[in-house]
Amino acid sequence: MSSSGPNLNMPTHDPSHNGDSNHAAGGWPDNVGIVAMDIYFPAQFVEQSELETHDGVSAGKYTVGLGQTRMGFCSDREDINSLCLTVVNRLLEKTGTDPTRIGRLEVGTETIIDKSKSVKSVLMQLFAESGNLDLEGVDSTNACYGGTAALFNSINWVESSAWDGRLALAVCGDIAVYAAGPARPSGGAGAVAMLIGPNAPLVLDRGVRSSHMEHVYDFYKPDMSSEYPVVDAPLSIRSYLSSLDACYNKYRAKAANRGHENITLDSFDAMVFHTPYCKLVQKSLARVCLNDYVNLDKEHKSKLAHLEKFSEVCLEKSYTDRDVEKAFMAHSLQRFEAKTKPSLLVATNVGNMYTPSVYGGLISYLVSGCSRSLAGQHVAVFSYGSGSASSLFSIRVTSEEGHLEPLLKCLSDVQSRLSDRRKMAPEEFVATLGGREKAVHAAPYTPQGETETMFPGTWFLASIDEMHRRKYDRTSTTLSKANGH
């Protein structure tokens, strides 16, 4: 593994000090957060407008109704292991991170191909040559939320007595596929890897992150022989929005306890959401504005004459109220355009990546700006996973442009990679998913998908033997440590 690359100001560790040199006077290391990050998505996509025609639905059902433009998808050459191998390999190479400097590695996913062997264990082959087998962490499994669990666990490790001064690596990846029908256009695939440590350019705020966990059968995968979920769409949307309400108001209460009164959407420069589909994100931003309105006193409500008819609205009774939804989507439109729409670049072009979805949103927002415009910003992040698990937390972007630039440089190829993908016809997309259906749990099995059209440096499934043991290989790479593929 190359040791050259952009200087990310990563802490070094002197074992004789047990990492104390990186700790603040209070006992915690300073500015713990995301030191660097990268994203991987497949090299092929299907146009949602063409899929509308193929499926025989009305024009705009997917592109306007869901807010989706393109959907990335995987052939039988890619699985959750290969996605995570690719994104971790890319991040280590692009940042020039010595594998021995990683002390914790955890994967968040809901794409299960083995009920016992973790994805993290497969990733250990990237560390074998360096001799670094001292790596804590395994997998966190929960629909769309596992990546956030991996991130929080990594942050907690750095801030704990167990920390040995090294970096943590939080990885999230999934392949989102649905049976033929109305849910299929909300699929996607991808992976995100994040280096976690002190002195980070993206610092997670302490003491304010809030969570809401509940037992809900809105989306689940009870059939272990299938990649497809069971979905109760109306319940899923209600659960998402009610969890957002709960997390937002718990965050506000925790912030108030720390002396930050009257937190509103305007307290943040941006707000990033888990994105099942882009239209729901716009409705979610409107939902935050509805919460802000409900929290106003009568005097301040009276100044918003265009919302007067909703002055007595009850949050719990408004989830299916189209008048409320329409009014607050209009009321919040300018805020959505400024604070949230820039975060939808990956989601509208790749689709729902499940656990990496919200972090693809964060990456999209970061690549929409420059170090000068992003420096010092305050970003709220809402993560949701069905079942259900949700959290709202916030990130402070460093005010030092020079400290932020290496992270942005690592992400500078995202737009070009999106543009370099290969468009596939809807018939090819359907046939590819049909091939994946036949390959689920097959052994022995030799994948049929092409490897020549993959991005350089992509890991892929080479074979599965009669004992279900998977072997992986990597496409030839021209990976530039400075700017990606």
**Residue from 103, 125, 88 nearest 12 by CA:** 103
What's the burial of 451, exposed, middle or buried (CB within 10 Å: 0-12/13-18/19+)?
A: middle
Q: Specify whether 428 is catalytic.
A: no
**Residue from 70, 86, 77, 124 nearest 456 by CA:** 86
Q: Which of 52, 110, 227, 405 is catalytic?
A: 110
How crowded is the C-beta side of 276, counted as CA atoms within 13 Å?
Answer: 22
Residue 232 CB neighbours (<10 A): 15
Residue 181 CB neighbours (<10 A): 10
Residue pair 411/39 in contact by the 8 Å Cβ criterion: yes
- SS3 at position 155: helix
As given in the structure block, the two tokens for residue 123 are: 């990733």
Bridge pairing between strands 422-424 and 44-47: parallel
Separation of alpha carbons 465 and 442, rounded Å: 9
* Single-letter amino acid, residue 273: F
> 48-55 — which CB contacts under 8 Å span 24+ positions?
48/185, 50/425, 50/426, 51/185, 51/426, 51/429, 53/426, 54/426, 54/427, 54/430, 55/184, 55/185, 55/426
- In angstroms, the Cα distances linking 204 to 164, 331, 358 are 20, 29, 15
Separation of alpha carbons 4 and 479, rounded Å: 13
How crowded is the C-beta side of 17, counted as CA atoms within 13 Å?
Answer: 11
- In angstroms, the Cα distances linking 465 to 23, 79, 389, 462, 472 are 48, 15, 36, 10, 12
Q: Which of 74, 144, 172, 278 is catalytic?
A: 144
Q: Specify whether 110 is catalytic.
A: yes
Computed on alpha carbons and rounded to an integer, the radius of gyration of the chain in Å comes to 22
Residue 266 CB neighbours (<10 A): 11
b/e sequence 63-87, b meaning 16+ C-beta within 10 Å: beebbbbbbbbbbbbbbbbbbbbbb
Q: Which of 274, 331, 403, 485 is catalytic?
A: 274
Helices (H), 24-126: 48-55, 80-95, 119-123
Q: Specify whether 144 is catalytic.
A: yes
Separation of alpha carbons 112 and 100, rounded Å: 28
Residue 328 CB neighbours (<10 A): 24
Q: Catalytic positions, please?
A: 110, 144, 274
